[in-house]
Amino acid sequence: MQIGLFHSIQWPEGSDQSDRYAQALTQACHADALGFDSVWLTEHHFSRHGIVSDSLMVLAHLAARTSHVRLGTAVSVLPLHHPLRFAEAAATADQLSGGRIDLGIGRGYQPGEFRGFGVDIAEKNAMFDEALEVLRLVWSADGPASHSGTYFSFEDAAPQPRPFQQPHPPLWVATDSPGGLAMCAAQDWGVLLPQGTSLTVTEGQMKRYADALADAGCGPERARAYLARATHLAPTDAQAWAEAEGPYREFLGYADRLRQRGTEGRETGGRSPFDLDADLRSSVLFGSPETIISGLEAIRELGIESVMLFMHMGGLPHEKIMASMDLFAREVLPVAHEM
């Protein structure tokens, strides 16, 4: 399996933003040093849920402080970007990292983020589609390209620099709908599966993905899925749960309030990636190294070869996260890499 570190840089009440950034960057560099395969950053706006707003910039900074990890967005919220700016930013980060960028893209779900940019959340799917169309246009064009669309129109744009990886960094789409999975299967894009879901839900998602691959004439071995999982290790299960459950529930509760906030009874089109009805025990990797290895084996059996670990939840202290990472690297990572 491939193992990533998934980070959103939350900003709990009473904490300092600069401290939170410094700790997150230290954790990301530690992941690189410990032999993790990737670091993934979310994109969020205007709240304590995550203060990484310019995800590709933070990845470009990490490119200079890490040596081998792949650097991914999980996800860039395409409807909130101008696609030409996004093409430029992705290519710049790709140049600065020597081709280590993975581009996870999604539609967004927090009403406050859309309102904060003056964008109607009801249009997010159409905007996602058009932004992706623009990206594919400029990535495939040999010279200047023009586009006249519903949301974006421009003439003779040839975004520079060009990506280091040609024709573009690998794409990963946050999706579990039949249509989205069919697109990923047809284009050979990866699939990002959300954290917070029970394994039963994940199994259903992988079944739909296998169907989509079959419809595209491919076998299930072509699946490329990266699953996010809240993760915390300690010497015993009891200690791991005692340390992580409170901070994780705090994180989930805040995320759910953001999803609801400001909807005032209207249909927002926003859907949380967190399935809060899931049995907590089957939706996280909290425990001793042995428990985590069993959890990863169960994930691997679903045909999933890559897991990104969400380790900094709520107010969980930096030192506990670093200890959890160390324990993972020592006891679990060598086993996971052989699964």
- Under rule CB under 8 A, which residues in 108-127 are in contact with a copy of itself? 112, 115-118
67 binds a copy of itself (CB under 8 A): no
Bridge-based pairing of strands 190-193 and 38-41 is: unpaired
* C-beta of residue 21 within 8 angstroms of C-beta of residue 11: no
How far apart CA 77 and CA 175 sit, in angstroms, is: 13
Q: Which of 64, 142, 265, 271: binder of a copy of itself (CB under 8 A)?
A: 64
Following DSSP, what letter does each residue of 96-160 receive, concatenated? HTTS-EEEEEE----HHHHHHTT--GGGHHHHHHHHHHHHHHHHH-SS-EEEE-SS-EEEEE--S
Minimal distance in Å, beta carbon 222 to a copy of itself? 30
CB of 8 to a copy of itself, least distance (A): 11
Q: How far is the CB of 278 from a copy of itself (least distance, A)?
A: 28
Q: Is 318 in the site for a copy of itself (CB under 8 A)?
A: no
Among 27, 38, 92, 306, binds a copy of itself (CB under 8 A): 92
- H or E segment to which residue 186 belongs: helix 178-187
DSSP 164: S
Query: Given candidates 1, 71, 78, 93, which one binds a copy of itself under the rule CB under 8 A?
Result: 93
In the range 141-160, which residues lie near a copy of itself by CB under 8 A?
144, 152-160
> Minimum Å distance from CB 188 to a copy of itself?
25
Please, are residues 73 and 40 in contact by the beta-carbon 8 Å criterion?
yes
Residues 6+ apart with CB under 8 A from 62: 25, 28, 29, 39, 69, 71
**How crowded is the C-beta side of 211, counted as CA atoms within 13 Å?**
12
255 touching a copy of itself, by CB under 8 A:
no
Contact with a copy of itself (CB under 8 A) among 63, 135, 206, 234: 63
Task: Tell me which residues touch a copy of itself (CB under 8 A).
Answer: 11, 17-18, 21, 25, 44-47, 51-54, 56-58, 60-65, 82, 84-85, 88-89, 92-93, 95-96, 112, 115-118, 144, 152-162, 164, 262
